[in-house]
């Protein structure tokens, strides 16, 4: 469904006076407002193709209706989000759930919706139709070389799909691990996984990256073969310069200091990308910023500090992606909330007075250091983020627009109430 620009303008007009009042009040407090606005406009977050339908849990799935039935409809949904917030101009594909049937048509659709293809994701956590071997006991780590070969080939196929679309990176998340002590020889599992990753690495085009994602537990509950950032860093360091670690916020043990992990990976030049979500207990895949907004701000604070120290481009040098699942919310509304939360944290982190913070750190002035961070975090930057959206041609209030225009109802009418998103 294409959103008419004139509808967005009309919607914005009614909100403009109130918005301008809030924005001007806020902007008075900064001397680099334009610089911040330009950075916000440039910052794009990839939407994963698997987050557009209702995810559900192992206990059940409650469809919201009107869910996309094909890759093309998923792209239309992301195009819809992007036209509203102007910050969702990328898609991260999951293979084999989203294998394009007609490459040229899919590429044309991406251009129509102003989307680029971010990392492509392989899947060796499920058995695939028509494939000889099962991944029940792992894929790249498997004790049987034939299983490993099948999984390696799948990843190479995924790279080829990505090349066809113009993607530049592959994300490998492995469910590999063990559920019980004694099940696995850790050393052999590590070696098998490493050798498999080496073969995948060798198939990467020159200008590609591979992201090795880690996860503490689930679906395996005793050990995971890429279980934490240290293990991922070990793989990516040994693989070579095209290999990077990917941080998924939900993939840590409780209370892990993710901002410190991010800072050190960045320092080592091994941070490649992000999967944003939020969690209370584990890999909950909740709306970004819904549970721990301060943590998200602290992560962005380290990201900006580290990227600026290296002269990196905030928007272009990492893969910024959402990885979430929606059980009770409309997925599109949830994604609008997530993108907004990311932009708010990014904007707040841009407000941190770096010079003063460095001085406070050098003087061991703990109180001032904390005050500086909290000054930025407690600034309500929503009008700043909205102004960036407005300048880019988006909606001042995306969720309000979405509801006023009854977009979900229209999608249900178009696609049906009982649709199930491919892959879910």
Residues in touch with Mn ion (CB under 5 A): 248, 275, 323
Q: Output 67 or 248, the one with its CB closest to Mn ion.
A: 248
- What span, in angstroms and rounded, lies between the C-alpha atoms of 111 and 75? 11
Q: Output 369 or 424, the one with its CB closest to Mn ion.
A: 424
Q: How far is the CB of 173 from Mn ion (least distance, A)?
A: 6
Residue whose entry in the numeric block shows the structure tokens 């499920």: 126
Cα-Cα-Cα-Cα dihedral sign, residues 107, 73, 85, 13: positive
Question: Nearest CA to 3 among 369, 419, 393, 424?
Answer: 393
- Packing angle between helix 354-362 and helix 366-377, nearest 10 degrees? 160
- Strand ranges (E), 38-189: 46-48, 90-92, 116-117, 120-121, 169-173, 177-178
Q: Output 76 or 334, the one with its CB closest to Mn ion.
A: 334
Q: How far is the CB of 215 from Mn ion (least distance, A)?
A: 7
- What span, in angstroms and rounded, lies between the C-alpha atoms of 233 and 238? 8
Whether 335 contacts 322, CB under 8 Å: yes
Within a 10 A sphere around the Cβ of 157, how many other Cβ atoms?
15
Q: How far is the CB of 78 from Mn ion (least distance, A)?
A: 17
Q: How far is the CB of 411 from Mn ion (least distance, A)?
A: 26
Q: Output 323 or 340, the one with its CB closest to Mn ion.
A: 323
Q: Output 98 or 248, the one with its CB closest to Mn ion.
A: 248
- What span, in angstroms and rounded, lies between the C-alpha atoms of 131 and 122? 15
Q: How far is the CB of 400 from Mn ion (least distance, A)?
A: 30
Locate 13 and state its tokens.
């007009």
Q: Output 341 or 352, the one with its CB closest to Mn ion.
A: 341
Q: How far is the CB of 171 from Mn ion (least distance, A)?
A: 8
Locate 106 and state its tokens.
């899919």
Q: Output 218 or 380, the one with its CB closest to Mn ion.
A: 218
Residue whose entry in the numeric block shows the structure tokens 């693989």: 239
Q: Output 82 or 275, the one with its CB closest to Mn ion.
A: 275
Polymer length in residues for the chain: 424
Q: How far is the CB of 209 from Mn ion (least distance, A)?
A: 16
Whether 287 contacts 296, CB under 8 Å: no
Tell me the three state secondary structure of residue 173.
strand
- What span, in angstroms and rounded, lies between the C-alpha atoms of 395 and 8? 6
Q: How far is the CB of 48 from Mn ion (least distance, A)?
A: 8
């Amino acid at each position: 469904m294409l959103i008419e620009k004139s509808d967005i303008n009309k919607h914005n007009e009614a909100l403009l006076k109130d918005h301008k009042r809030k924005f001007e009040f806020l902007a008075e407090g900064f001397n680099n407002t334009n610089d911040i606005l330009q950075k916000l406009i440039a910052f794009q977050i990839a939407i994963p193709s698997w987050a557009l339908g209702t995810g559900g849990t192992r206990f059940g799935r409650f469809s919201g209706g009107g869910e996309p039935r094909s890759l093309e409809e998923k792209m239309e949904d992301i195009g819809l989000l992007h036209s509203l917030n102007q910050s969702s101009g990328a898609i991260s594909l999951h293979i084999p759930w989203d294998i394009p049937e007609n490459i040229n048509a899919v590429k044309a659709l991406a251009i129509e919706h102003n989307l680029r293809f971010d990392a492509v994701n392989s899947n060796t956590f499920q058995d695939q139709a028509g494939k000889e071997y099962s991944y029940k006991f792992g894929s790249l780590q498997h004790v049987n070389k034939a299983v490993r070969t099948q999984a390696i080939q799948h990843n190479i196929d995924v790279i080829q799909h990505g090349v066809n679309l113009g993607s530049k990176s592959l994300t490998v998340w492995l469910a590999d691990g063990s559920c019980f002590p004694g099940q696995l020889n850790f050393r052999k599992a590590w070696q098998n996984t490493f050798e498999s990753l080496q073969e995948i690495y060798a198939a990467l085009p020159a200008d590609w990256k591979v992201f090795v994602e880690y996860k503490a537990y689930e679906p395996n509950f005793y050990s995971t073969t890429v279980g934490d950032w240290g293990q991922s860093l070990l793989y990516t360091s040994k693989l070579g310069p095209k290999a990077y670690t990917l941080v998924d916020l939900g993939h840590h043990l409780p209370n892990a200091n993710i901002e410190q992990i991010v800072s050190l990976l960045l320092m080592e030049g091994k941070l490649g990308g992000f999967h944003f979500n939020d969690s209370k207990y584990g890999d909950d895949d909740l709306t970004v910023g819904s549970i721990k907004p301060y943590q998200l701000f602290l992560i962005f604070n380290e990201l900006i500090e580290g990227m600026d120290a290296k002269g990196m481009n905030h928007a272009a040098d990492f893969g910024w992606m959402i990885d979430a699942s929606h059980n009770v919310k409309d997925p599109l509304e949830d994604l609008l909330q997530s993108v907004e939360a990311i932009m708010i944290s990014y904007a707040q982190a841009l407000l941190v007075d770096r010079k003063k913070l460095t001085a406070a750190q050098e003087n061991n002035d703990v109180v001032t250091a904390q005050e500086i961070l909290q000054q930025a975090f407690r600034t309500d930057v929503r009008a700043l983020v909205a102004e960036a959206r407005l300048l880019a041609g988006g909606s001042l209030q995306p969720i309000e627009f979405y509801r006023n225009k009854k977009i979900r109802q229209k999608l249900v009418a178009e696609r049906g109430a009982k649709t199930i998103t491919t892959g879910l």
